[in-house]
A and B are shown apart, each in its own frame.
Chain A
Amino acid sequence: MSKETTASAPDLPAEVQGWLGQKRYEQEGEFDVERGYVFTTCASVENGNPLFWDEKAAGEITGGWIAPPTMLSVWFRPHFWAPGRTAVAQPLQVHFDLKEKLALPEAIMTDNTMVFREPVRPGDRLRTWQVLRSVSEPKRTKLGLGRFWVIDVEYVNQRGEPVGTETYTGFGYRREA
């Protein structure tokens, strides 16, 4: 978890400079944490951990069903379509804002750190927000010329208890011929 906002490149647009250290895009999940997605995730990696499949084990060990800790971001990925939505909703919006404002059409995630606190349980309705921590000076990699940035994503449950933090390092770039 990156709580410090580090010095960033001085040539950044003022608008991007203003995002550093700011809590942005606070939102509640579109739906409750639910077991259907837990099963789909477990099936995708053949995870037979009894905490997700065996009610007796879940009751004895975790005091009831929980979701796999690494599913934190899943609960905030928007539906691909929803009535009345006119633009494609993006998870990790700060990342996409940076791509747009810095005119870097391609991007990849290079590092991801996840810290897990209170367990997430079916029926929870989580809240999240994003904080931009740093943006590098332009750098050239084998992918192209671009910048690295670090974004923290905080998650809490409906009681305000922290359930986890994700820290992403992204690299936005323009491909070179």
Chain B
Amino acid sequence: MGAAKLTLERVKAGQALPELAYDVTATTVVLGALASRDWRPMHHDKDFAQQRNGVRDIFLNTPNQAAWFERYLTDWSGPHGRLARMRFRMRDSVFPGDRMVLRGTVEQVAVDDTGCGFAEVAVKLSVGDRTCTECTARIALPRAEGDNPWTRKDLDWKP
């Protein structure tokens, strides 16, 4: 596996990240729930989801959505990208049978007072014309070939 390095100088505000599309199945939902040790029935029991939550099927849980956003961002940044902060808001659920699409845009590129380079990225997870989850993330990127945000600690890391 390669370790491609995306450096800050190659990133500009307005730049689009490559789109990721994925066909969600019941297995996707259940695997994601089990991977995050979430045993709540609305993520594996369709009857419960319909009768108690009033939705049409089981749906992706919150921690697994975070894992999808992380995967999407680091697919783009490569392994030197270091997640600093992520905020997301769930507006609608993602169900088996949905084709979810993640699209991201760089909103800002900046260097903080410790010299660490960051990109602020907005990501939208949608199904058809439904926006299911909106995410904003701050991810540290190397400023040049020899830089590595993962070496930062304590006061040199301001997420």
Question: Which positions in A face B, CB cutoff 8 Å?
Answer: 37, 40-51, 53-54, 57, 60-63, 68-71, 73-74, 77-78, 80, 106, 108-119, 175
Contact = CB atoms under 8 A, between A and B. Distances in A.
B37 interface: yes
B15 interface: no
A57 B3 contact: yes
Contact of B67 (A44, A61, A112, A113): A44
Among A46, A62, A69, the most chain B Cβ lie within 10 Å of the Cβ of: A69
Interface in B51-108: 52-54, 62-64, 66-71, 74-75, 79-80, 82-90
B138 to A, nearest CB: 9
A69 to B, nearest CB: 5
A50 B1 contact: yes
Interface residues of B, number: 43
Contacts of B79: 49-51, 57, 61
B147 to A, nearest CB: 12
A114 B65 CA distance: 13
A61 B85 contact: no
Nearest to B62: A109
A-B pairs with the 3 shortest C-beta distances? A77-B37, A47-B71, A70-B66
B86 A80 contact: no
A171 B22 CA distance: 29
Q: Which interface residue of B39, B69, B71 has the most chain A CB atoms within 10 A?
A: B71
Given A74-B36, A114-B85, A69 B3 contact: no
Interface centre among B54, B64, B67, B150 (most CB of A within 10 A): B67
Contacts of A74: 35-37, 63
A61 B3 contact: yes
A57 B4 CA distance: 11
A115 B159 contact: yes
Interface string B17-40: 000001000001001101111110
B159 A116 contact: yes
A53 B39 CA distance: 26
A118 B157 CA distance: 9
